[in-house]
Amino acid sequence: MSTSTLAPSESLLLLPRLAAPGVRLQHQPFSFLIAADMLRTEALIELQRDFPHYPEAGFFPHKVEDCGPSVNRLIAEITAPEFADALGERLGVREMSKLPALVTLCSRLNRRHGTIHTDSRSKVVTALFYLNTDWPHGSPGCLRFLQRIDDIDALVVPELLPVYGNLAAFKRADNSFHGHLPHEGERMVVQIAWLTSHDELLRKQKRGRVTHWLKKLLGSLDKRFGAGRDRNAAHKD
């Protein structure tokens, strides 16, 4: 893997911006936060270069050996207690750093991804950092926080472009509906989820490894599965 030229003293994550005036923080219909420019601009080229470009679509557990130094450095920063506690405080989860954290990476999607859901009950808070230079695809692939589980157009706030430095985070609830319109192709995302227990962390890591292996085995079948899904398709968690 490549070596980093970023100064070790400079954080890639711009933590003070979590409390900047432009941050959108809402607690209805569920607690969520949207922030822009959360990542150092100078890190864009290295983060994109060091990101694992999996041929398979979907989210897979972070493995140090899959990533270059800047991506591993960013993951160390977003799993640090300072970030967890600062984000948790804003979303109403005190001392969130005491919860186990699962990091997964996604470099590309199939059209079946993004159906409306709430996230599983084992997740307390989920955060998504986007790394794409721009987004010329329009609405497909843009994150939507939703009022309902059966309507992808029932937006709570305007959809979020998955572009570099954008952060979306939310506290899981029975009505924390979110999803996006079908998109096929590259979409670089780092996801971190703080979980209810260490047992859930181990279970999700194991399931993620198995899922990745199956997708390698199935190849093009995975791409065809669900390719014609309805725009309002949903699953409960």
7 C-beta neighbours (distance < 10 Å), count: 9
pLDDT at 26: 97
The answer to whether residues 4 and 70 touch, using CB atoms and an 8 Å cutoff, is: yes
86 found inside a domain: yes
> In this predicted model, what pLDDT tens digit does every residue of 115-171 receive, in sequence order?
999 999 999 999 999 999 999 999 999 999 999 999 999 999 999 999 999 999 999
β-partners of residue 117 are 178
Q: In this predicted model, what pLDDT tens digit does every residue of 85-100 receive, in sequence order?
A: 999 999 999 999 999 9
Considering only CA atoms, which of 152, 132, 133 is closest in space to residue 144? Answer: 152
The per-residue pLDDT for 220 is 59
Question: Under a CB-based contact definition with an 8 Å cutoff, are residues 179 and 146 in contact?
Answer: yes
Contact 77, 225 (CB under 8 A): no
In a domain, 1, yes or no: no
**CATH classification of the domain holding 189:** 2.60.120.620
Q: For residue 4, what pLDDT band results from cuts at 50, 70 and 90?
A: low
Does residue 115 form part of some domain? yes
Q: How confident is the model at residue 1 (pLDDT cuts 50, 70, 90)?
A: very low
Residue 160's CB is within 10 A of a number of other CB atoms, namely: 22
Q: pLDDT digit string (tens) for 72-82?
A: 999 999 999 99
The number of distinct structural domains making up the chain is 1
Selection from 145, 148, 170 nearest residue 158 by Cα: 145
| Residue 149: closest CA among 173, 187, 118 | 118
Q: Are 163 and 134 in contact (CB under 8 A)?
A: yes
Q: What is the pLDDT of residue 205?
A: 85
Residues 180-233 have pLDDT tens digits of 999 999 999 999 999 999 999 999 888 877 777 666 656 656 666 666 788 888
Q: Does residue 2 sit within a domain?
A: no
- Whether residue 175 lies inside any domain: the answer is yes
In a domain, 189, yes or no: yes
Q: Give residue 41's pLDDT.
A: 96
In this structure, is residue 121 part of a structural domain? yes
Tell whether the model's pLDDT for residue 46 goes beyond 80. yes
Label residue 114 by pLDDT band (50, 70, 90): very high
On whether the pTM is more than 0.75, the answer is yes
- Decide if pLDDT at 3 tops 60: no
Query: Is residue 212 included in any domain, yes or no?
Result: yes
**Domain coverage including residue 118:** 23-224
Question: Which segment of 30-39, 105-114, 151-160, 185-194 scores lowest on mean pLDDT?
Answer: 105-114
